[in-house]
Structure 1
Amino acid sequence: MERADRTKSVANGSGNHQTREQAKSRTALVLYGSETGNAQDVAEEIGTLATRLRFDTTVLDFDSVSLRDIVKPSVFIFAISTTGQGEFPQNARRFWKTLLSSGLKSGVLKKVKFASFGLGDSSYPKFNVAHRMLHGRLVQLGAHAFCDRGEGNEQHPEGHSAALRAWIVALKETLLQTFPLAEDQAPIAEDVFVEPKWKLARNPDCHAQPRGVNGSETSDCPSSEEFPLRNQYTADIIQNHRVTPQDHFQDVRRLGLQLHENYPYKPGAVAIIYPKNFPQDVQDFIDLMDWREIADQPLKLITSDPNAPSSSSHPPSPLRHLNLTPDGHLHLTSSQARIHLTLRWLLENVLDIMSIPRRSFFASLSHFATTTTEDSAYQKDRLLELANPDLIDELWDYTTRPKRTILEVMMDFTTIQIPWSYALSTLPQIKGRQFSIATGGAQTSCDRGFTRLELLVAIANPPSPIIKYRPRHGVCTRYIAALQPHSHLTIGLQPGYLDPQPHDLATPALMIGPGTGIAPLRSLIHQRLAWAPEQEQEQEPEQEIGLKSSKQSLKGDILLFGCRSSTADFFYKDEWASLATNHGLKVLTAFSRDAVHPRKYVQDVLREEGPAIYQLLVERKGKLYLCGSSGNMPKGVREALVDVFVAEGGMVREGAEEMLGVMERDGRYWQETW
């Protein structure tokens, strides 16, 4: 009781009431554009900083606001990722389109003071371009950037966090200079607990459900219950089988899905899978937090701000992406059923207790620590060390290097229990994972007209050099490996960035896809196969030059696939042989760990096939599609292409680099890496 009472007194003390009153005239809007959740995490960290500087802060995605909304607050701050081929994230595209309107006059945003941080990957040709374009357009419309823009790079050993640490310090200084506090005010200290805008409370209007009814407490697998996500699709699992040998180091799955409706998609489209936690891990966390009595009790969300409007959209609910009814139920759309919101359900479906914690998690956790015993005092000091931005190496050694999860962290910090009412504000939420769809053309629908799709998923189970007693797992791929045929799951669907068109058939394609990067290229190949007969029927007799016969619709196209072994992970091997024989596809391979073939990577094969590559890309002005892992592979491919242009075209290196730049500007160089 001592721990809970102490937390309550800090959270509801007069200092927090003063924070609300003093922040009324200081407002901050923090927006994010994010595909995988990294920019959202950055935005939430910025939001925490702004709150401690006594701004009344709101954190939302770009497409949840209108242009006039960024004019209202004292300060507008955003974090945005660059995706695809220099594209804006899906949840920022509508805002960007509005910002490009020709009806906006110069100076229309002259009242806006803003700061920004971009997240990019230097292995992409257009590094951080979405951030730079958005920043530039705001300035063009009269907005004032009061702080130098920050840019993170995922290729840095510490990821975007390295640049973020320095930029956050600069942001804090410039915020205090540009928006000074009153003489009798000071920023809220890091050791002072700030009451979150939303928290959980008991729902007296609902009766408790039997344990396990929300999930599968008695099962070893996650719940198969529908996830009540807005704008979601329910998919039946047609197949989920391993395509690599049992003795191969990696388990790769072909996951076949069928929707209950028709959703047309093009090559490059992605399916978003929302993983669930396993029942035993959930129970372990409940036991550690001593939440057994409350775990299955009906709950509801309440706002802790008495001055907030009653509308559920302000302040923004942390569960606004779910079909949550006003009475605290979760609405399952396909069955029209409703279930209670409980802690167990949140831990199974929403709260990411199996992720590697960020620095902000330890900062939040420290507010629930006490110093009443020697152990508790030591653990609080340790939390403060891990939350200290100046000790980032300490955090990396404890979390990232051993891949230690939040559940395992709580096993170490045994004197600390998170009050259940603050679970949503303390624990991170599970984010959907994107997987490129591997089907295209005739493969995209079944006999009944419903949409079908297939994913090629590498199951992640990286070893830990430190924690050997507990296996490491990728949160999502562990969930995928447990999915059973004839069951179903909730997915999201998004268009991709490859943007192929039927008239592209007249243009040869070089498709490079090592490993599971072959998935979107398989979709592209089958879409080109489906378009060929359509183009042939529409073709006039005098327009025969440039278009291909449907029987040789892939003639002139080159597929370059790389993997470790010709017998272990040569995905769709028989399919490529058939397409080569029947449709003219040229298939090149690179095996890096094969017992029969010499050791090669895709960049080695590019150099070996220099004349054919040069003819396709330069002489015939073909398109290049590059898919797979980010990092060294895309850089190696780019360097190999420069070598080919120099060797086959007699160019100097600067000219070869410019040639690649021309291909990018003309939309003939597409990269989709992750």
Structure 2
Amino acid sequence: MNSVVVPNLPAVSLDAEKLALLTRGVEGLTTAQLYWVAAWAAAQAAQAQRIGPAAVAVAGRTAERLTIVYGSQTGNAKRIAEELVRRSEAAGLPVRLLRADAYPQRELAQERHLVLVISTQGDGEPPDDARGLFEFITGKRAPKLPALQFAVLGLGDSSYPQFCVIGRQLDARLAELGGTRFAALGEADVEIEAVAAPWTEQTLEQARELLKQAGVSARVTPLHAVPSRSSHSREQPFAATVLANQRIVARDSERDVRHIELSLEGSGLRYEPGDALGVWPRNPPALVDQWLDALRLDGAQEVTHQGRTLALRRWLEREREITRLNRPFVAALAAASGDDGLTRVLQKEHSAEFTALLAADQPIDLLRRHPATWPAEVLVAALRPLAPRLYSIASSPKAVGEEVHLTVAVVEYETYGSTHWGAASGLLAATDEDGKLPIFIEPNERFRLPADGARDIVMIGPGTGVAPFRAFVQERRESGATGRNWLFFGNRHFASDFLYQVEWQQALKDGSLHRLDLAFSRDAAHKTYVQQRLRERGAELHAWLKGGAHIYVCGDSTHMARDVHAALIDVIATHGDQSPDEAKAWLAELLQQGRYARDVY
């Protein structure tokens, strides 16, 4: 047992499990949010004193509430779940919202009304915050659930072969365990609202009826967290002024990487190290010209779509995705062109070929190779809405004040005889000082520094994945954290691609960075990556982890994150005298505890 002592109150004993759950639940909250939690707890205690423990037990029965659990990597599932909670509260329904890693798995057997909102990442993987719950539900220890009424909304990207597979697997497994669907499985593509909005409406209506049958009729007064002082959001971005736009690689570097500083003055926006900055992009005018030329369309032609009328050029530049291939567009092009080859690559048995197509080509390449007649209205309808891009924040507000910094790799390259661009990175690179950019903050609760500043941290960030670790080191320096900081950084060439080299050298000198291990893959005959450095430093790395260190990974999810994960398992197995399965389980436990966090894309 652990005694928690609060001044002027008697000591209260909590068992280790409850204390750990409470600690995870409040870690990373702002001061205002902590005060709200305290007020909520006080209200619960006061209610318990008024109505007695027996009545509290009745009021808290799982049959009389709707539990909404989300698993989210980039924030979309969380956003949808929070909207469902708001609407449930407005309808007078008792409801609780939990992130998947905070859901007490032992409660599943008693759960009566459950909604899961969960995304699928990469090649069919659950988001990091839902791995534990996913493995529990799909594993042998999952209980029978004959009394459970459930609904699942899966989020994904239909460009990938394993579209919404995590949502599908959970939906099927809950039914297999005896649960009953009260709403059909929802599968939302990148254009999330098209599915999420009607699914939420239907699910809320069914939940209202089920809870009414369970005896819930009284309207409740919901408690709300303290709102942000900012009115700016994803839907209402802030026009941030560019303070600096500096190239931070050598002139002969194969890539253009920028350090960009933006002013938040007057925005009311707040962020913490580990959060992301959302940027609403615009497609390059030169790329729009390529589209109009390839399709022989007039950019001034007015096009009406979903009640809005805009010039075709405006649709292509400001409203539609034209730099990223996706399955629906390829399918539309296959139908328009009658090309059997495109139709074939869309079939499940050719998923590897389709994945290679997505990686190699932009839509303009396919339009040129597979010519077809596209009426302007059909083209606009076939294209996805333009979506914001998220960038890991590279600064701590404790160090930079009302600013936010980014590390951006500019997408611009030549292939098939023409220039190709990225939408957001091109906009960021082209916006000079004093220019404006539409931005918002996307919190990342799973990627936070430990609340205990005495904890050691290990940071693994090749390329622009180093961005959040610049923020981490700044934060730890400014807050006086006493824990050690160890950074693994890799890139192509030492001479031209060592991002923030001077800053890291200064951090080593002033003691805010304790270790720096480097891997430059193209400076020798044999390529060396950060995962090899992890294995080489395995004994000391394992000692840090056994001593309680937190480990963070940021960067490419397709290759780097998987390779680093495999290297960590090797290190734990080799230096911890464990089998690979035991090492894998131990690393999974670190993930569940929040000591292993990944910001991958």
TM-score (norm 1): 0.56
Look up the SS of the partner of 1:603 in the other structure: helix
Q: State the AA in 1 paired with 2:467.
A: A
Q: 1:127 to 1:495 in 2, by over 3 A?
A: closer
Offset, 1:428: 1.7
Q: Could you tell me how far 1:434 is from its partner in structure 2? A: 0.9
Q: Which residue of 2 aligns with 1:292?
A: 298
- The offset of 1:603, in angstroms, is 2.7
Hey, what does 1:221 align to over in structure 2? none
For 1:94 and 1:394, how far apart are their aligned partners in 2? Answer: 36
Counterpart of 2:270, as a letter, is P
Aligned counterpart, 1:389: 347
Question: Structure 2, unaligned stretches of length 5 or more?
Answer: 1-65, 89-94, 99-106, 173-180, 182-231
Taking the aligned partners of 2:322 and 2:503, their CA distance within structure 1 comes to: 40
Q: Deviations over 1:561-603 (max 9, x none)?
A: 2222322211111111212221252222222336489964323
Q: How does 1:300-379 map to 2 (within 5 A)?
A: 341-356=310-325, 358-364=326-332, 379=337
Maintained 8 Å contact 2:122/2:558: no
Name the residue aligned to 2:537: 609
- State the distance in 1 between where 2:484 and 2:117 align: 48
Residues 5-44 of structure 1 aligned to structure 2 (within 5 Å): none
Q: How far apart in 2 are the matches of 1:643 and 1:116?
A: 30
Pairwise CA RMSD of aligned residues? 4.7
Offset of 1:276 from its aligned partner? 1.2
For 2:342 and 2:579, the matched residues in 1 are separated by 55
Q: Which amino acid aligns with 2:410?
A: I
| Partner AA of 2:273 in structure 1 | P
One-letter code of the match for 1:453? V
User: Which residues of 2 match residues 585-596 of structure 1 at below 5 A?
Assistant: 585-593=513-521, 595=523
Conservation of the 8 A alpha-carbon contact between 1:123 and 1:632: no
Contact 1:267 1:437 in 2 (8 A): yes
Change (3 A) 1:133 1:638: closer
Q: CA deviation at 1:229?
A: 7.1
What code does the residue aligned with 1:625 have? Answer: Y
The CA deviation string for residues 193-248 of structure 1, in whole angstroms up to 9 with x for no partner, is xxxxxxxxxxxxxxxxxxxxxxxxxxxxxxxxxx9973211111122222112222
Whole-angstrom distance in 1 between the partners of 2:296 and 2:475: 54
Deviations 1:253-304 (CA, angstroms, capped at 9, x unpaired):
1122112423221111111122212223334434555653853x5x76666x
Aligned match for 1:380, one of 317, 338, 359: 338
Query: 2:390 corresponds to which residue?
Result: 434
2:567 is the counterpart of 1:640 = yes
Q: In the aligned structure 2, how far is the partner of 1:654 from the partner of 1:394?
A: 29
In the alignment, the residues of structure 1 paired with residue 474 and residue 588 of structure 2 have an alpha-carbon distance, to the nearest angstrom, of 28
**Larger-gyration structure (1/2):** 1
**Match of 2:322, as an amino acid?**
I
Cα 1:400–1:291, aligned 2, differ >3 Å: closer, same or farther?
A: same
Identify which of 554, 559, 562 aligns with 1:627: 554
Aligned in 2, Cα 1:497/1:115: closer, same or farther, shift over 3 Å?
closer
Q: Is the 8 A contact 1:642 1:657 kept in 2?
A: yes
Q: Is the 8 A contact 1:128 1:151 kept in 2?
A: no
Change (3 A) 1:107 1:381: same
State the distance in 2 between where 1:132 and 1:651 align.
Answer: 21
User: Distance in 2 between the 1:141 and 1:614 partners?
Assistant: 45
| Equivalent residue number for residue 38 of structure 1 | none
| Structure 1 partner of 2:455 | 507
Matches of 1:568 and 1:627 in 2, distance apart?
Answer: 21
Q: Cα offset for 1:472?
A: 3.0
Distance (whole Å) between structure 2 residues aligned to residue 525 and residue 293 of structure 1: 48
Distance 2:568 2:458 in 1: 12
- One-letter code aligned to 1:92: I
SS at match of 1:522: helix
1:659 maps to what in 2?
A: 586
Residue from 259, 269, 281 that aligns with 2:264: 259
Counting matched residue pairs gives 454
Deviation at 1:359, TM superposition (A): 3.6
1:473: Cα distance to partner?
Answer: 2.9
- Residue 130 of structure 1 and its aligned partner are, at CA, apart by 7.6
Deviation of 1:160 after TM superposition, in Å, equals: 2.8
- Name the CA distance, whole Å, in 2 between partners of 1:556 and 1:293: 57
Answer yes or no: is 1:237 the counterpart of 2:205.
Answer: no
Structure 2 letter corresponding to 1:456: T
Instruction: Give 1:458's match in structure 2, choosing from 409, 414, 436.
Output: 409
Q: Say which of 415, 418, 428 aligns to 2:375.
A: 418
- Against the structure 1 CA distance between its residues 344 and 634, is the aligned structure 2 distance closer, same or farther, given a 3 Å change threshold? closer
> What letter matches 2:494 in structure 1?
S
Q: Distance in 1 between matches of 2:351 and 2:484?
A: 51
Distance 1:660 1:509 in 2: 15
Q: Secondary structure at the match of 2:262?
A: strand
More helix by share: 2
Task: Supply the AA of the counterpart residue of 2:563.
Answer: G
CA distance, structure 1, for counterparts of residue 120 and residue 561 of structure 2: 21
For 2:595 and 2:353, the matched residues in 1 are separated by 42
Q: Is the 8 A contact 1:235 1:489 kept in 2?
A: yes
Task: For residue 440 of structure 1, report the CA deviation from its aligned partner.
Answer: 0.8
| 1:24-423 equivalences in 2 (<5 Å) | 82-83=72-73, 89-94=77-82, 100=96, 107-108=112-113, 118-121=120-123, 122=125, 142-143=148-149, 159-160=161-162, 230-261=235-266, 262-286=268-292, 291-292=297-298, 294-295=300-301, 341-356=310-325, 358-364=326-332, 379-380=337-338, 382=340, 385=343, 389=347, 392=350, 396=354, 399-400=357-358, 402-405=360-363, 407-412=364-369, 414-420=371-377, 422-423=378-379
Letter of the 1:427 partner, please give it: L
